[in-house]
């Protein structure tokens, strides 16, 4: 096996770990804000989903920025 292939494979594995971290961070933030809005603040379903989408996107952006430092 050529030495370059091992480095490429290792780089892809690290990248996949970053994407899993980003997705997990976004999902946890979205679920948290949805539950807070829906049941803690008695917001409507539409409002809760919109806030969950917004916070999930922001959390994904922050996790992406941290993962690529």
Residue 56 clears pLDDT 90, i.e. is over it:
yes
| Mean pLDDT, range 45-52, rounded to an integer | 97
Instruction: Give the predicted TM-score (pTM) of the model.
Output: 0.75
* Structural tokens at position 48: 């809760």
Length of the chain: 69
Encode pLDDT of 5-40 as tens digits. Answer: 555 555 555 666 789 999 999 999 999 999 999 999
Give the other-Cβ count within 10 Å of 1's Cβ.
6
pLDDT tier at 54 (50, 70, 90 boundaries)? Answer: very high
Nearest Cα neighbor of 48 from 59, 38, 58, 62 is 38
* Structural tokens at position 28: 């946890």
């Amino acid at each position: 096996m050529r030495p370059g292939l091992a480095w490429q494979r290792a780089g892809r594995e690290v990248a996949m770990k970053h994407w899993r971290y980003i997705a997990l961070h976004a999902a946890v933030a979205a679920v948290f804000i949805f539950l807070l809005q829906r049941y803690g603040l008695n917001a409507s379903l539409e409002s809760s989903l919109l806030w969950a989408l917004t916070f999930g996107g922001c959390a994904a952006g922050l996790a992406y920025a941290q993962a690529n430092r």
